């Protein structure tokens, strides 16, 4: 327990967390501080490209093996399975409708790439190595949760004429979502070019990475703070509690999976973090197409305003401490 508190305190003092806190405080104080949308989009593109490229280069150096393939399969299965648990928990704990519960569940089966990056930064600061190919697992875990949520809705609305949601537009949104295309595409480029390619552009994707991440998290803090301020009417105590309980449920599943796969301590932490995180980029875009009746103030505020800061401040230190104790790291 002391180790968890020490990690949490250390994490709270890091630049990326303090930048997020600044954005959150500015939003609550109703400051006019803003990050232009074009700048925020540019930072998002940069981070996804850098993450994917470095992951691809790491796979090129590591090579394909059974553990990598099993990790990809396990990530896909976990992403599809978690929404069923989240949906059942929401229906038990809250009074959310089937559509809102399914939309929220999809976010928790998918992943937050920024939470993944924050966990990677914590591992680096602690000197804990991890498998570079975990970014490929992150890419695999983006879409299955959306399919699981739509299956939940179609089962609940079967025979009502509202269950035909898997049209061409939705498939396009799922498979060609910008964040997925960029992450997978840059991963493939990094894999093809390997260490030589990474060396050629290292001054672009390695040195400035932490600074760009700080500004991006400042913007995330502003968005999360405004969402929390505007969603007071729908964020009941049970709904808010779900945003803290569900990441711990997902983390437990990710932790067990990482240990069964025989990943390193860092790999277990990253698998745990992926399973504990909630999407706020790819899935909201898909939900706007697939479940337009669902309330975005619920699923966006939960994923970005509750679960995201919980993982940044307390979740990741807990995952590091538990994974280190169980894996012998």
Encode pLDDT of 8-18 as tens digits: 666 677 888 89
User: What is the pLDDT averaged over residues 158-184?
Assistant: 66
The confidence score (pLDDT) of residue 306 equals 92
49 class by beta-carbon count within 10 Å (0-12 exposed, 13-18 middle, 19+ buried): buried
Q: Is the model more confident about 130 or about 232? A: 130
pLDDT > 80? residue 201: yes
206 class by beta-carbon count within 10 Å (0-12 exposed, 13-18 middle, 19+ buried): middle
User: pLDDT tens digit string along 115-163?
Assistant: 998 899 889 888 898 888 898 898 888 888 988 888 888 777 655 555 5
User: What is the pLDDT averaged over residues 310-314?
Assistant: 91
The confidence score (pLDDT) of residue 267 equals 94
**Over the Cα atoms of the chain, what is R_g?**
19
User: What is the pLDDT averaged over residues 277-282?
Assistant: 86
pLDDT level of residue 329 (50, 70, 90 thresholds) = low
**Cβ–Cβ under 8 Å, residues 302 and 104:** yes
Highest mean pLDDT: which range of 8-12, 51-55, 279-283: 51-55
pLDDT > 80? residue 78: yes
The confidence score (pLDDT) of residue 8 equals 64
Exposure letters 9-25 (e unless 16+ CB within 10 A, then b): eebeebebbebbbbbbe
pLDDT level of residue 242 (50, 70, 90 thresholds) = very high
Determine the angle formed by the axes of helices 98-109 and 66-93, rounding to 10 degrees: 150
pLDDT level of residue 6 (50, 70, 90 thresholds) = low
Residues belonging to the chain: 329
């Amino acid at each position: 327990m002391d180790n968890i508190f020490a990690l949490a305190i250390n994490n709270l003092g890091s630049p990326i967390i303090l930048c997020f806190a600044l954005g959150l405080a500015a939003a609550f104080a109703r400051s006019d501080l803003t990050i232009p949308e074009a700048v925020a989009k540019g930072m998002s593109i940069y981070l996804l490209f850098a993450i994917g490229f470095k992951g691809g280069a790491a796979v090129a150096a590591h090579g394909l093996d059974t553990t990598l393939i099993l990790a990809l399969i396990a990530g896909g299965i976990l992403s599809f399975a978690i929404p069923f648990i989240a949906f059942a928990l929401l229906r038990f704990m809250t009074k959310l409708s089937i559509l809102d519960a399914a939309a929220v569940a999809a976010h928790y089966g998918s992943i937050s790439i920024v939470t993944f990056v924050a966990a990677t930064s914590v591992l680096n600061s602690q000197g804990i190595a991890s498998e570079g190919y975990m970014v490929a697992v992150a890419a695999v875990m983006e879409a299955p949760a959306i399919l699981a949520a739509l299956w939940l809705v179609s089962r609940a609305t079967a025979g009502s004429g509202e269950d035909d949601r898997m049209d061409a537009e939705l498939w396009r949104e799922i498979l060609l979502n910008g964040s997925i295309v960029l992450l997978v595409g840059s991963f493939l480029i990094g894999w093809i070019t390997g260490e030589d390619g990474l060396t050629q552009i290292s001054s672009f994707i390695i040195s400035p990475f932490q600074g760009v991440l700080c500004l991006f998290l400042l913007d995330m803090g502003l968005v999360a703070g405004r969402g929390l301020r505007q969603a007071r009417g729908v964020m009941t105590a049970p709904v808010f509690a779900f945003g803290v309980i569900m990441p711990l449920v997902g983390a437990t599943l990710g932790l067990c999976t990482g240990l069964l796969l025989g990943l390193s301590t860092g790999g277990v932490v990253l698998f745990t973090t992926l399973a504990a995180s909630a999407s706020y980029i790819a899935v909201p875009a898909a939900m706007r197409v697939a479940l337009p009746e669902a309330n975005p103030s619920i699923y966006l505020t939960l994923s970005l305003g509750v679960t995201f800061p919980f993982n940044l401040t307390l979740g990741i230190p807990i995952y590091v401490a538990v994974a280190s104790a169980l894996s012998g790291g």
